């Protein structure tokens, strides 16, 4: 479904191991404020049989045609991305701008600025050690990983996602021209408040910072609050 001209779309970019279904509850939570849609990456859900990306730039370039087709002409778009999704969304803002898509705001969550690489890594570890490290990073363990059949499907995608996140380097040093809002859980042990504020340097426009109660995966239980924060930031754009 394409957005009607003038509609505001919230385009969500999944975090490592996640698919579009994570954001499906946000459609109801948005209460008609936006059309909520999501980037569909290979290796998960409807694209489970496809090879996952291992490079953020390739993932962005490989997704942009479908995104442009989904958004439709004249759509107004806010991009939201958490963790891996934040840097992928940042790359997409650059690409969408070049395609004439009007992005009104980039909302990044649980992420240091795009130039800061993670010191502790999970990539390259053996399966059990890898999962333990990811669980430590995220602050929770996905219950599907305890089922051998599901684990067999999820693990390669999670490994590919972590590899592309941990090896990410921005494609350009040029800041985006759209406003950025950075969100963070106040008990996030993976991203400090100072790191989350580094996104100020990634935009030539305005910058905002909001904290929520919780750890790195605070958004699992805070969908409504996140949407309220996005709405508030969007209202400031039009104030």
How would you list the strands of the sheet with 76-82, edge to edge? Answer: 35-38, 8-13, 76-82, 102-109, 180-185, 207-212
CATH of 8-234, one of 3.30.300.30, 3.40.605.10, 3.30.360.10, 3.40.50.1820: 3.40.50.1820
Report whether pLDDT(222) > 70: yes
Q: Per-residue pLDDT for 70 more than 60?
A: yes
Residue 14 in tokens: 């999944």
Give the Cβ contact number of residue 162 at 10 Å: 24
pLDDT of 50 strictly over 50 = yes
Predicted pLDDT of residue 175: 95
Per residue, the 3-state secondary structure of 15-31, as one string, reads CCCCCHHHHCHHHHHCC
Count CA atoms within 13 Å of residue 206 on its CB side.
9
Please say if the pLDDT value at position 223 is more than 80. Answer: yes
Distances (CA, A) of 74 to 56, 67, 100: 27, 13, 9
The pLDDT score that the predictor gives to residue 208 is 97
CA torsion through residues 29, 30, 32, 35, sign: negative
pTM (2 d.p.) = 0.90
């Amino acid at each position: 479904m394409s957005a009607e001209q003038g509609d505001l779309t919230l385009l969500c970019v999944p975090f490592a191991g996640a698919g579009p279904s994570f954001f499906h509850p946000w459609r109801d939570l948005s209460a008609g404020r936006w059309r909520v849609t999501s980037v569909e990456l290979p290796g998960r859900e409807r694209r489970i049989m496809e090879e996952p990306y291992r490079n953020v730039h390739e993932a962005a370039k490989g997704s942009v045609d479908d995104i442009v087709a989904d958004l439709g002409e004249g759509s107004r778009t806010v991009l939201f991305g958490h963790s891996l999704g934040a840097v992928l969304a940042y790359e997409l803002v650059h690409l969408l701008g070049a395609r004439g898509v009007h992005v009104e705001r980039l909302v990044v969550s649980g992420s240091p600025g795009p130039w800061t690489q993670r010191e502790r890594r999970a990539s390259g570890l053996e399966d059990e050690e890898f999962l333990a490290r990811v669980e430590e990073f995220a602050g929770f363990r996905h219950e599907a990983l305890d089922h051998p059949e599901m684990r067999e499907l999820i693990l390669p995608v999670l490994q590919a996602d972590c590899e592309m996140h941990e090896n990410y380097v921005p494609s350009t040093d040029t800041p985006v021209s759209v406003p950025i809002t950075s969100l963070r859980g106040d008990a996030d042990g993976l991203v400090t408040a100072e790191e989350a504020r580094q996104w100020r340097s990634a935009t030539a426009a305005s910058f905002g910072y909001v904290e929520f109660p919780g750890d790195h995966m605070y958004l699992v239980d805070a969908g409504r609050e996140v949407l309220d924060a996005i709405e508030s930031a969007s209202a400031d754009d039009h104030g």
